[in-house]
Amino acid sequence: MSTADCQARFKIAIKDSEGDLFRYFLRRISNPADAAEAYGELLITAWKLHRKMPTDATEARMWLFGIAHNVLRSTRRNSARHSAAVQRFADELRTTPAPQPEDKVVELRDAIASLSAGESGLVRLIYWDGFKSHEAAAILGINPSTVRSRMTKAKAQLRALLSTARPEPANLAHVPCLSVR
């Protein structure tokens, strides 16, 4: 049988059964959006296998419902795995206390956020993400000397901001983003 004939038979079989196939999923999957997704998966799977579809219309309909059954089983397995993973994550969140940022960390985050977008992004790339200045320059597509000058400016602004928030200069020694890299 030619490719065109196989495709034509497939289109007819889908057209004749599309409502029944979609209702098959709606009756078995509580969320209509998930049922629609399963129906879409059925169409994709059936299309990939359409050359194996029986020529008899009744057998073709049964073949499509067999694929629907397999898609439903797969959907349920994936849903069960997803639910189990979500439950494990939720259990871990309940048993692991969230770290509370110290005041100095909050002050530092606020100070970094008050910098210009370019400077705050640069500080985060270097001190939060651990990139060296030449690596940050490559990521941002700018000259390494520009990174160094922007970092000098950003550090000066951070020192000024943090010294007004915490007047004791001795307390600034522990702030890693103010050390020279």
**What pLDDT score does 181 carry?**
45
Residues 174 and 156 in one domain: yes
Residues 79 and 123 in one domain: no
Residues 36 and 65 in one domain: yes
Nearest to 137 by CA among 100, 149, 128, 89: 149
Residues 6+ apart with CB under 8 A from 36: 22, 25
Report if pTM > 0.75: no
Domain tally, the chain: 2
| Series of mean pLDDT values for 10-residue runs along the chain (181 residues) | 88 95 93 95 96 94 95 93 89 77 80 90 90 91 93 93 64 50 45
List the CATH number of the domain containing 82: 1.10.1740
Which of 67, 95, 123 finishes a domain? 95
Which of 68, 95, 122 finishes a domain? 95
Eight-state DSSP code of residue 167 = -
**What pLDDT score does 2 carry?**
84
**What pLDDT score does 128 carry?**
85
Residue length of the chain:
181
Residues 88 and 113 in one domain: no
Q: Could you give the C-alpha distances from 75 to 23, 41, 55, 56, 138, in angstroms and in order?
A: 16, 9, 28, 28, 43
How far, in Å, CA of 37 to CA of 28, rounded?
13
How far, in Å, CA of 68 to CA of 62, rounded?
10
Residues 165 and 121 in one domain: yes
Residues 109 and 86 in one domain: no
Six token digits for residue 43: 């169409």
Which of 74, 95, 116 finishes a domain? 95
Q: Which domain holds residue 112?
A: 103-178
Residues 71 and 127 in one domain: no
